[in-house]
Amino acid sequence: MEHPSIGTGVEGIVRRNPSDGTVTITGRVTGLGTSPQKIMWIAAAPVTRGIGFMGSGQPYPNRDIALGGTPNRGTVESADGSFNIRLAGIPAGYYSELGSTYVPPLVEFLSSTRDGQRLHTSLWINDTAAPYRWGSGAPAPLRPIVADPASMGRAMYYAGREEMPLFDNQEAQLRAKAYPSENTQRGWPQAVDVKPWAHVVPPA
């Protein structure tokens, strides 16, 4: 399960191993050319797993807590800006701007060359860590109707409702805003969640 990701001055292929939950990223820091670089990287701690749904997969309240003590960090001595890193698990999301903006899973890079050039950039891992686990009322990023990019991640549940078709009933509207299955097709968090009711016995 893999997909490409491009950031400002960095690009890579994100792969997830469903057998152990680890994530590998193969890519290159392009913003400093092909000169030798020291690449320090860090990502939030992996998504939490609790015994119940309500306590699992919640975003961290801020960046400091998300990155504090995280196992997802390291340094790469690269001859040309290329790297191959391995994350212990899918990084959790976290909030910024006093909890009003949801920051999705990403890896931050601080790259420097021998002549003193530096680049601080980031690469997105996925649009959400655990879908529908944020508490700000924000919409799923992968929706047919996309709000203004500057507003994404905020409390915009009703954004775009004027452009939505006239639904016959409330159930149809809720289904249109259903669980973002495109995320789970990438393997986040489990591929079986693409069709969560596929193996449920129909009522008698």
Q: What angle do CA 77, 80, 86 make, to 5 degrees?
A: 50
The answer on pLDDT for 110 being more than 70 is yes
Write down the pLDDT at residue 144: 37
- Look at residue 125 in the predicted model and tell me its pLDDT: 87
pLDDT in tens, 141-152: 433 334 455 555
pLDDT at position 119 is 93
Determine the Cα–Cα distance for residues 65 and 70; give it in Å rounded to an integer: 9
Whole-number pLDDT of residue 187: 45
- Give yes or no for a contact between 41 and 112, defined as CB atoms under 8 angstroms apart: no
Burial pattern 179-190, b for ≥16 Cβ within 10 A else e, equals: ebeebbebbbbe
Report the alpha-carbon distance of residue 68 to residue 154 in Å, rounded. Answer: 24
- The first and second tokens of residue 12, run together, are 């890579």
pLDDT at residue number 58: 83
pLDDT at 164: 61
Min mean pLDDT across 24-28, 45-49, 200-204 is at 200-204
What pLDDT is attached to residue 172?
Answer: 65
Tell me: the pLDDT tens digits for 37-83? Answer: 999 999 999 988 777 766 677 888 899 999 998 999 999 999 999 99
CA 176 to mean position of chain CA atoms: 22
Q: What's the burial of 129, exposed, middle or buried (CB within 10 Å: 0-12/13-18/19+)?
A: buried
Q: Residue 127's pLDDT band (boundaries 50, 70, 90)? A: confident
Is this prediction's pTM over 0.85?
no
